Structure 1
Amino acid sequence: MNGISVDELKANILVVDDESINLRLLSMTLAQKGYEVRCAKNGELALLAAQTNPPDLILLDITMPEMDGYEVCQQLKADSTTCDIPVIFLSALNQTLNKVKAFNVGGVDYITKPFQVEEVLVRVKNQLSIQLLHKKLLEQNALLQKENYERQQEITERLEAERKLEQLAAELKRSNQELETFAYVAAHDLQEPLRAVTGYTQLLVDEYKDRLDESALEYMDLIVDGASRMQQLIQDLLAYSRVSSRGQEFRPIDVNDLLRQALQNLQVAIAQSNANISHDTLPTISGDKTQLVQLFQNLIGNAIKFRREEPPQIYIAAELKDDNWLFSVRDNGIGMKPQYLDRIFEIFKRLHTRTEFPGTGIGLAICKKIVERHKGRIWAESQLGRGTTFYFTVPEYMS
């Protein structure tokens, strides 16, 4: 191949010369090197051939009848379909002015006749190499422009996403402020009428119980019970709403101390149920002490509440897995069917009636919210009549 690239072998070359001998020599020499060669004997035929099927390079004689090489080259460069075709002049004119004019009209090289075929081949190869390099540079430039456009689009989309995120953050802040306002109203204004209902109902019972029959007294008890349950529901909703808005700064906390405090808060329920509670040596983690005490208190309280006839057996453990502490609270209680395990963490979702087990159905929803604030997750495994194990994770190192 004599070092000629595949792309150059595919090159289409137009030879323009009014001398038949030159045409035959050049076309034969170029064809032997693998080029596709076309010939034109004058300027008009050259322009027609170039416009019909633009070649990769033109070898152009200057001295021709009717239209010389300079004019042919000028017309080629003026046409958008042929302006980028490299033109090498071939001429017996050896004056500097002739060469300068050839370059001024758009030629890229100049070969003086009589020429050596070896020189023609080298100059053709050089110009085709330059043309190929120029083509590759244009392709790379187009690719870079495309990549730059796509990157600009990504930046625009990222900026738009950041703007929306900032907007969502502002809306969340406003929503939290509204939630704080609701919490204040719930803590004061909503509970005051309930206290009034409970108080006046109790006064009616105390002052008029001799005049009231059993049905009336039963109705009074139902009123007091309903108001009390409403107060408890409001207090639980407050606790749920304040998990995120009223949380304390995370600090290193010994979970053994948290558990002791939770058990102290549950001492009456533990004593009444004869619950036996044991645990592993627990780690130190980073978190909100008040909320984590509430988490353990809710889970252990659940195990005590949903017990069978025998005393509750509750075991708390922890192990390090994949940079997370995995905690478990296992009991021997009544258990539940596996199909209900997903819904128990939803607010107000209950699997039992209030007459079977008291409560508002918010305790486990609060647990889920606390665990998620600590960048973990919570789930349960259970079988009906064979107890339940609650699992939750907390990162080993909190950022």
Structure 2
Amino acid sequence: MAKMDRKTILIVDDIVENIDLLQKLIIVSGHDIHTSCSGQQAIEISQKHQFDLMLIDVRMPEIDGFEAIRRIRESSLNKDTPVLFLVAKTDNYNISRAYTAGGVDIITKPFQAEELLARVNTHLTLQEQKLHLQELVDAKEQFINILAHDLNSPFTTILGFADLLANNLDSYSKEEVKKYLGLILNVSENTHALLNNLLSWVTLKQNRIGFNPQKVSLRSRVDECCLLMRNVASIKDINIAVEVDKRIVVHADVKMLDTILRNLLTNAIKFSTNSKCIKVSASIKQDNCEIIVSDSGIGMTEEMTRNLFKLAAKSVNGTNGETGTGFGLILCDEFVKKHGGTIRVESEPGKGSHFIFTMPCCSSGSAIRSIKTKMMSNYLYW
């Protein structure tokens, strides 16, 4: 069996000795354990933390396990978390009640170590498979929605302006023709970027995407991506400033790194107002390189940042009405994780956003020390 990712488990029992025993038996699997000695405390904990599995004793004073689960289910955070009820082996009445109360299984007391671990691991695996299946279903629905709307709408715009030019070319001035061609070019570039993201995402979900990390000059990739984004940025009179030391070398898949940078730059341009500046910077943090794409645009609320890298997140139009699907940021998240890195966003409404991601650094020790001591001071503007 493949090694299971680290999971979070809640154990609830009013007898401390039972909690201690369960912890000792389960913790060897490497999971994170939260404990509670009462139903009320379990309800409060479940409102703050999302769990992969809950083990709850049925017989507890004041609020028993069944009532605790009923209240926990009222909160969206753990409404679908599987529950294993802890029941005395001779308690036939509560054994039958456990399943009607929403439990997926029972664990009888006194505990048998092998049986306990087998049941816990089985239901953790089933839950993981269930979530993965739901993710695939959501992905399929999102894919169909994009084909039906987000790829159809741009072609309507392109065909509309192309038809105007084809049938009325002689009646338009040179400036008008240039304007319409610019609109066609802009929509075409955005549609092409969306299609590339969509194809990369589908390939990734089918586990068919190649991953070929190598030594890469970060500055060269940033410069290349900024050059590609120059036309899009110029429409809003936006400058892109680069502060990345030329000596920084990262261990990265070039195509994935370029996709991350392009999508973050596109996002920054989309949510910046005209004549603003975007900055790409980098610094060394231990053995990783931290890359930041910053803008001074409209920013986001805390709720928006929490859901930003989720498939279900709703895309918001840009400052010039630019549309999108949110797939670009989802790809960034997937590709950064593929490199063993992390990605996060810091933002406030009206104060812009800072997208921060890490890549493994493969610069020499002396170069890293030198870069840390004296970061490059000159900027390159695109």
TM tier, shorter chain? 0.3 to 0.5
Larger RCO, structures 1/2 (Cα 8 Å, 6+ apart): 2
Per residue, is there more helix in 1 or in 2? 1
TM-score (norm 1): 0.43
